A = this chain, B = another copy of it.
Amino acid sequence: MLAEDIGQGDVTTAAIIPQDATVLAAVIAKDAGIVAGIEEAQILAESLGLKVRSTVTDGERIKNNQVLMQITGDAQTILTVERTMINLLSRMSGIATTTYKMMELLRKAKSKAKIAATRKSVPGMLYFDKKAVMLGGGDEHRLHLDDMVLIKDNHIAIVGSARDAVELAKEKVSFTKKIEVEITRPSDVVKVAEAGADIIMLDNFSPEEVDDAVKQLKDAGLHKNILLEISGGIDSDTLLDYALAKVNIISMGELTHSVKSLDISLEIIRN
């Protein structure tokens, strides 16, 4: 990360900051929310020989103007690493904060569902984005394409039917992996459950269609051993419409593909 940001060195800092200057800097929140990325920022700073005292823990609620970290050490190093560290903290905290707000909405609506991340993220940031979702109280879902089997519409378009796809996966994939399948109409839900899916994703279902799918599973006696996930265009506005359905997971792409950063900055406190 640093390599990308720095190029052959920070020409400004090298030219005007004395080589042996030591300073105290503070990382300060400029907005309220849930903090995330403290662990990563601390590792980054310490790996460059800086001394760090974090005054908050990842996942904690923070207030505007709250000091998050105090960093002491070589002035050139602090100024060079500043932007990368703040960019990471701001993004991760932004994601954690939004996730937390969604979970709050669910809690108030007495829903037991969990918000989950998707893989609609930024190339290179998947690990950090998923961790931020978790710190905000959500579920990170799969991280890599080899974490579990997840059969989507494009797979089914090629294989023929959702049921065939599940059966094929059941036969070919190690017993250590769960199998999830995305369906687009309620009438498929019983078929794929019988074929052996562990998790069923209801893609772009209306709240009524979700209720219909749950009912069908219950009638077939298959509801207990299967997790239901809903997905597709759910955002803060529509979340509550789905909150009372008996689903286990609600996954939201906008958590990670359209992040609103939390405003955080680094300030030199004392030379």
* Chain A positions near chain B (C-beta within 8 angstroms): 1, 4-18, 21, 23, 25, 75, 79-80, 82-84, 86-88, 90-91, 94, 114, 116, 119-127, 139-152, 154-155, 157-159, 165, 168-169, 172-178, 180, 199, 225, 227, 248-249, 257-261, 266-268, 271
Question: CB within 8 A of A177: which of B10, B23, B178, B225?
Answer: B178
Contact of A83 among B6, B119, B124 (CB under 8 A): B119
A199: chain B residues within 8 A (beta carbon) = 175-176
The one of B5, B116, B124, B172 that contacts A144, using a Cβ cutoff of 8 Å:
B5
CA distance A36 to B172 in the complex (A): 17
User: Cβ of B146 and Cβ of A7 under 8 Å apart?
Assistant: yes
Whole-angstrom CA separation of A199 from B4 in the bound complex: 24
Cβ contacts under 8 Å, A152 to chain B: 12
- A-B residue pairs in contact (CB < 8 Å), sample of 9: A11-B145, A11-B177, A17-B155, A23-B158, A80-B145, A83-B119, A87-B121, A141-B174, A158-B271
Contact B148 A176 (CB under 8 A): yes
How many protomers of this protein does the assembly include? 6
**A146 engages B16 (CB within 8 Å):** no
Residues in B whose Cβ lies below 8 Å from that of A80: 145
In the complex the two chains form, is B155's CB within 8 Å of A177's CB? no
Please name all residues of chain B whose beta carbon is closer than 8 Å to the beta carbon of A4 when the two chains form the complex.
123-124, 126-127
Measured between beta carbons, the chain B residues less than 8 angstroms from A260 are: 258
Which chain B residues lie closer than 8 Å to A248 at the CB level? 175
B5 touches A7 (CB 8 A): no
The reply to whether A120 and B87 form a contact with Cβ atoms under 8 Å apart is yes
Q: Is the CB of A150 within 8 A of B258?
A: no
Q: CA separation between A83 and B180, bound complex, in Å?
A: 17
Q: Which chain B positions have C-beta within 8 A of A8?
A: 7, 127, 143-144, 146
Report the minimum CB–CB distance from A252 to chain B (whole Å): 13
Q: Are B123 and A6 in contact (CB under 8 A)?
A: no
Name the residue in A140, A145, A173 with the highest tally of chain B Cβ atoms < 10 Å from its Cβ: A145
